[in-house]
Structure formats: C-alpha cells, structure tokens
Structure 1
Amino acid sequence: MGDDMTDSNDARQIGEVLDFWFPEGRALDIDPDRHAELWRWRMHGGADGAIAARFGPLTERGAAGGLDHWSATPEGRLALIVVLDQFPRSLWRGSARAWAQDTEALAQAEAGLDNGDWTALGLSWFQITFTQPLGHAEGPEHLARIDRLIALRRDIATRAPAPLRPLYASLVDQAGQVRRIIASFGRHPHRNAILGRRSTPEEEAYLEKGAFPHQRVFRG
C-alpha cells in the first residue's frame, strides 16, 4: 500500500475525514440554511482547531505522499483531496505550507475527473470539494482549469436537489470571479506577501479593496 497502515486503518481514516468534513452526510433533504452554515464552517476557519487536534499528523503524512494509495477508490481520492487541499489551509494558515500541496491535490482531482471517480461520487457537496483544486493551484493552464471548474459547477448546480440549487449557482458565480482575478494577474495576489512575491501596482490596488472571491460566503 505504500504506507504502514493496514487496509482497515485506511478505511477507518478515510471515513473519519469524510464524516468530519461533511457533517451533512449523504442526506439529500438537508435544509439549505444548515447546508450553507456547514460550508461557512468549512471554508472560513471554523474547523481550524479541530483539524489541528484530530488530523495534524494525518495531514503531515498526506503532504509527504504517504496517503497517495487512498486514490484507489473514489471516496478515498476525495478524502485525499480534502487532506491535501483543505486541511493544510487550516493547519498551516498564514504560511506558505497552506498552499504547498496544491499541485498534488490538482493532480489527484484531474486524475479522478478523467477516470470516473468524480462521477461515481454523485453528491453535490462531494463533487464540489473534489474539484476545488482546479481553482486553487496556480501555474500553467490555470485559466483553462478554471473554465473546466465553471462548467463542472454549472453541471452540479443543475443536478443538485432543488432547494440547494441557488447555493450551488452562487458557486458558479464565485468561480467566475476567480477567473477574472487569474485573467488579470495570472496568480492569486492575496498569497503574495506570505510567499515573498512582489505585488504589481495593479495587484496592490486589488489587495487594498480586500474583496477576495475565496472569502466569499457560500450563499444563495
């Protein structure tokens, strides 16, 4: 397996990651307000303490490549993407390590989109999380990846349970805002200071406004 965990330990830890990150479980009749509340908790720092307490060593292992074998199943790959793409943003918030795993998370997401894992997951909130690395990872072809992300989010919004569709439609708009930022600057300027990058005058003007798409509340 490429790690010292047993198969049963893998399954248990995959389940723990998914149960933690998706408290709504698999119920399609979740209340939209509750669903939006859970997304705010996930995306805006509410989970930071619990991630550090429960998943710090696991996130370190994932960052070192020790969980790559999780990608053998669709749900395992989703859990791996959470560990690579989401947990570091909480565990190492405010440091370059928060984004250091983006390239590997992107590779996992693209592989899972191409081999059918994304389709197999089915649930809207699983699929949204699976594709987030397309917008997060800087580098070549970023705009093309965001275009793919927008198309995928449109598809998710169309198929989501009717009460949740306005929430998922808002994420299509959010991805469009991210696209405009990357089209303008070729990168995420809010990372510049932490990564030691010099901001251009245009980026400084953008940063001064403080209206960052990645901080937008999941809403309908």
Structure 2
Amino acid sequence: MNKKAKAILDFWFIKTSPEERFNRNDEFDKKIKDLFLEDYKKATNNEYDYWQESAEECLALIILLDQFSRNLFRNDSKAFAMDYKAQIIVKNAISKNYHTTLPNNYILFIFLPLMHSEKLEDQLQCNKLIDECLKDNKNYKEISKFAKIHLDIIKKFGRFPYRNKVLKRNNTKDENNYLSSTHHGFFNI
C-alpha cells in the first residue's frame, strides 16, 4: 500500500476515535485540513484514481472524497461536491468484492457514500449491504438504525432536507416541519 493511503487509513482508524469521526469538532476539522487537504485536491483531480486497484487504497480514496470532504467544507456545498465520484468508486469496489476483504470495522466506510446518496436505489443497496455484511459488527444495531433513518428520509422527501440550506434549495412545507421537529446528531454538516 502506498504511503499516502496508509497515512489516511492510520489516521482514520488508529489515531481517531468514532466520537471524533462522527461528531462536529472544529479542531478535528482543522487537523484534517492541515494533514489531508492537498490529498483531497489531488483525489478530486483524478490523481489518485489508481488507488481503486486495491481494497485498502480504494477505501482511503473513499474516505478522502466522502468523509474528509465533510470535515474540510463543513456548512459549505463543497462538502457534497465529490459524493457522485465517491458513489461511483464504491459501486466499483463492491463489484470487486473489496468489502469482503477488509477488516470488519473498515467495511462501513465502503458503504457510507451510498448512505449519503439522495438516490433511493443507493439507499436500498446500502441497507441491504449493511444487513448482509455487518451483522457481526459490534455496532450493527446502531449502524442499521442510522441507515434506515437515511432511507426513510429519502423515501419521504427524495432528498436530505438538512442539506437544503447549504445547497441553496428551498424547503417544502413538509421539510420545514421535519427540520423543526427532528434532530439527528449525524447531520452536523
């Protein structure tokens, strides 16, 4: 595995806790910016596309495009700019069965771009894969619950209403009602 991909995986899985990964923290966002902004830029310019040739490097690329983007560009539409690319990479990775070769605690991050998708078919695939592949994960129930919440939101609205503001989309009345009555900590964009 190349040094850059290893640095990303070590940072994400060894040097950080799940709490740091999934909660809003300006200091953590800054650390990612300091360490990985240049790599993110290279990934967006297709300079790391060759990482798709191995499971671990592919996962590092997915984390760059799907996870780090949310830390690098919190409260900015750029946070979602590479979602489409991450989703294409994920579908390619799944077709190569990469998710079956990675450690159990890594697998979720292969599926997260599908969970972040506003396409119903991606949500359905994500939920199916989580149910099939993560039953042995100690956090399966929580992961499955969050996946189903994402799926239900897409079924109801066809998009994630909590993204509307940064994406400059107008809320519907139903979305306004939902946003005023619901709070999910994992929507801290």
TM over 0.5: yes
> 1:48 deviation in Å?
0.9
Q: 1:155 aligns with which of 125, 128, 132?
A: 132
Structure 1 portions without partners, runs of 5+: 1-9, 25-36
In structure 2, the residue matched to 1:22 is 13
Answer yes or no: is 1:124 the counterpart of 2:104.
yes
How many angstroms apart in 2 are the aligned matches of 1:213 and 1:132?
Answer: 16
How many angstroms apart in 2 are the aligned matches of 1:55 and 1:210?
Answer: 33
Question: Of the two, which has the highest radius of gyration?
Answer: 1
Give the aligned residue type for 1:128: L
Q: Kindly report structure 1 stretches of 4+ aligned residues shifted beyond 6 Å.
A: none
How many angstroms apart in 2 are the aligned matches of 1:77 and 1:157?
Answer: 19
8 Å CA contact 2:51, 2:61 repeated in 1: yes
Answer yes or no: is 1:85 the counterpart of 2:62.
no
Give the aligned residue type for 1:135: M
Could you report, residue by residue, the CA deviation over 1:49-90 in whole angstroms, capped at 9, with x for unpaired residues? 210111111111112222111111110100000000001100
What are the residue-to-residue correspondences of 1:43-192 with 2, within 5 Å?
A: 43-46=22-25, 47-121=28-102, 123-138=103-118, 142-160=119-137, 164=138, 167-192=139-164
Give the aligned residue type for 2:170: R
> 1:115 deviation in Å?
1.2
Give the aligned residue type for 1:90: N
8 Å CA contact 1:109, 1:133 repeated in 2: yes
Identity, % of aligned pairs?
A: 27
8 Å CA contact 2:23, 2:186 repeated in 1: no
3-state SS of the aligned residue for 2:2?
Answer: helix
* TM-score normalised to structure 1 length: 0.79
> 1:213 deviation in Å?
6.7
In structure 2, the residue matched to 1:32 is none
3-state SS of the aligned residue for 2:164?
Answer: helix
How many angstroms apart in 2 are the aligned matches of 1:157 and 1:16?
Answer: 25
How many angstroms apart in 2 are the aligned matches of 1:55 and 1:61?
Answer: 10
> 1:159 deviation in Å?
2.5
Structure 2 portions without partners, runs of 5+: none
Could you report, residue by residue, the CA deviation over 1:93-114 in whole angstroms, capped at 9, with x for unpaired residues? 1111000000000001111001
> 1:134 deviation in Å?
0.5
Task: Indicate the RMSD between aligned Cα atoms, in angstroms.
Answer: 1.8
3-state SS of the aligned residue for 1:195?
Answer: coil
* Greater Cα shift, 44-53 or 84-93: 44-53
* TM-score normalised to structure 2 length: 0.92
Give the aligned residue type for 2:10: D
Residues 171 and 23 of structure 1: is their aligned pair in 2 closer, same or farther, counting only changes over 3 Å? same
